[in-house]
Chains A and B, each alone.
Chain A
Amino acid sequence: ANMKLILIFSALIGASLCLETFVGHQVLRIKTKNEEEVKQLQLLESLEHLELDFWINPSAPALPVDVRIPAVSVQSVKAFLESQGIEYSILIEDLQDVLDKEKEDMAESAQRQRSGSFDFGAYHTLDDINNELDHLASEYSFVEKIQIGESYEKRPLYVLKFSTGGSNRPAIWLDAGIHSREWVTQASALWIANKIASDYGTDASITSLLDKMDLFLLPVANPDGFVYTHTSNRMWRKTRSKIPGSICVGVDPNRNWDAGFGGPGASNRPCSDSYHGPSANSEVEVKSVVDFIKNHGNFKAFLTLHSYSQLLMYPYGYKCTRPDDYAELESLGRAAASSIRSLYGTTFQVGTICKTIYQASGGSIDWSYDNGIKYSFAFELRDTGRYGFLLPANQIIPAAQETWLGLKKIMEHVRD
């Protein structure tokens, strides 16, 4: 096998350097019956002018002898073997053909890996998702993968930046998977990323959007939790941070933002699934986003994906009073819900968090809104409880498609 590798390696180098080809070379397998025949082959081996290349040298009768014969010598070697009554078979008819095919296969395989046959209609592991982010970034010049921080367990927080130019253009933020068990959200984010990237230049709306604004997409906002849902507990929601003084692990990252932190609708018990954490921004997954957005300074929209319930909500969650921009947000929300419904008839309820789902403090869109990002919306995607978190994979793409229409409606409004 090593011999073959060396051979192929030199063939490839040779081919590329036009030094040597193996056109017409044959590889024979010779089966010796006795010591006499072995001696004959050893004689053959000594005839250097034949340039025979023994892959398995003649040594004992029981062992086969494999030999590569240059094109010019093939006929004479065969004649010799036949005249001695030595049995042989042809392992390789034309070595160059084999080498060419192998080169082809390798190139194809590399191509397949590069263009990624990523199945958007299936659930993927974190590694697969990160590979696809790399693929998108390498395939589109206006897509860049940046790291905005690290999770508690030191996994990178990767954001896709969509930017066709300018300098710190007004930007839109979109995240998914802050609650790790909400698998349709990470999956939808990938589909949406691919949709935006591939439609730029052909879809008028996306093109004009990216020509004016930048988009930052964080598909897996809680990678530690996400890995945990794959390896240990499919129903895990929180981060995986150790909590001093408790045997329980993890903080609800959507109760950890600095907006009414610690108020109603969040728990102060570490074992609770809605535990707000020891302090606002205690979770590095949250702090990384906060710092990034603050440092950027020019975000106009903050959009976040959750599941399930089919809701489209705007602030506030931590208090039950209406935001100043209530009328505009309600109207925009209804327009977006209408767009969503237009595709498959899926109905989303629209309203403030507090009235629509429950009072909940420390939520991300409350923080973004109170920090000057007017267009702050939280989506709860399919379904309404039939499958809940365990949404069948065949609904990923429909969910992503309809959600995209809602997001697009909001983004268009922000752009204009």
Chain B
Amino acid sequence: ELPPSHFPARRAAAVAVGYLRYLRGGPGRRLELRALRRARRQDIDDVGHKYYLELELEDVLDKGRTVNCTAEVLYHLGSKSTAPDVQVTVQGELRSTEEADKEFYNRIRSLEKELVAENIPDSHGNVPPALEPIHLLAWAASGYVIWQNSTENTQFHLAQVKHVKQVKRSDEDLQFDYVLLLHEMVSQEVIPWELTVLWHPQSGARVSWDRRQPGHA
């Protein structure tokens, strides 16, 4: 049993939430971790450390409705290059984002010039309302990077969308090339990360390419 106030449980929770954001997040959905209710750790010989978590999330755009989840996060033993295995079970249904997704999709498709933006939020924490869906999509995509790159010795958060550029495609997907700033809490580094996200209302977000930006200290 782990105290929720101690960091090992909190780090595992961050991975679980990142994973969930990637799977279920998008331009119309904002999921926040409200509380870590309970955490257990199981050390599995020759395999790794497995965390069992009870989480209370908040579906912010659904009037902050509470969403309860359970999650399992398995960090593989000694491996820095294998992503943790994550399973998340959401209790109940999340509110549909079909309408917001459709509206966002149509709006972007109808843009004459490809969308370009930077510094979301800005230095003062402001996000122009029109860019909030782009911000939320970045959160969903960051969930993938966070999940893929986490260990028991890291805790990642999305610090800022440094740059985003839409790339028009001939198929049905929307494509956005992002440069995200990820804050890694243990080393305190702010790491620029490049990634390409594809999104469609019916298929959700997919990170098709990503890399830590080269040339960073």
| Listed stretches B79-87, B88-96, B182-190, B195-203; interface member | B182-190
Q: Which residue of A lies closest to B125 (CB)?
A: A392
CB contact between B157 and one of A183, A355, A388 (< 8 Å): that residue: A388
Q: Which residues from B are CB-within-8-Å of A384?
A: 33
Contact flag A390-B190 (CB < 8 Å), given A355-B7, A358-B7, A384-B33: no
Interface size on A, as a range, is 35 or more
Which applies to chain A's interface (DSSP): helix, strand, loop or mixed?
A: loop
Q: Does B123 contact A (CB under 8 A)?
A: yes
Chain B positions 158-217 with a Cβ under 8 Å from a chain A Cβ: 158-160, 181, 183, 185-190, 217
B6 interface residue (CB < 8 Å to A) = yes
Q: With A and B bound together, what is the CA distance between A229 and B190 in angstroms?
A: 13
Q: Point out the residues of chain B lying under 8 angstroms from A3, CB to CB.
A: none
Q: When chains A and B are docked, how far (Å) is the Cα of A351 from the Cα of B121?
A: 31
Q: Is B107 part of the contact surface with A, judged by Cβ < 8 Å? A: no
Residue of chain A at shortest CB distance from B32: A386
Closest residue of A by beta carbon distance from B189: A273
Contact of B125 with A387 in the complex, beta carbons under 8 Å: yes
Of A234, A274, A356, chain B has the most CB atoms within 10 Å of the CB of A234
Contact B181 A235 (CB under 8 A): yes
How many residues on B have C-beta within 8 angstroms of the other chain's C-beta atoms?
28
Q: Is A21 in the interface zone, CB < 8 Å from B?
A: no
A388, B122: Cα distance in complex, Å: 12
Closest to B14 in A: A385
Measured between beta carbons, the chain B residues less than 8 angstroms from A356 are 5-7
Across the interface, do A351 and B124 meet the contact criterion of CB distance under 8 Å? no
Once the chains are docked, how many angstroms separate the CA of A204 from the CA of B186? 41
Cβ of A252 within 8 Å of any chain B Cβ, yes or no, is yes
Q: A273-B189, A273-B190, A393-B125 are in contact. Are A388 and B159 (CB under 8 A)?
A: yes
9 closest A-B pairs by beta carbon, nearest first, are A392-B125, A271-B217, A349-B5, A385-B157, A273-B188, A235-B190, A390-B125, A390-B121, A234-B123
27 A-B contacts (beta carbon < 8 Å): A123-B123, A183-B123, A234-B123, A235-B160, A248-B217, A252-B188, A267-B187, A272-B187, A273-B187, A273-B188, A274-B188, A347-B35, A355-B5, A356-B6, A356-B7, A358-B185, A387-B121, A388-B157, A388-B158, A388-B183, A389-B159, A390-B121, A390-B122, A390-B123, A391-B125, A393-B125, A393-B126
What is the interface of chain B, defined by CB distance below 8 A to chain A?
3-7, 14, 32-33, 35, 121-126, 157-160, 181, 183, 185-190, 217
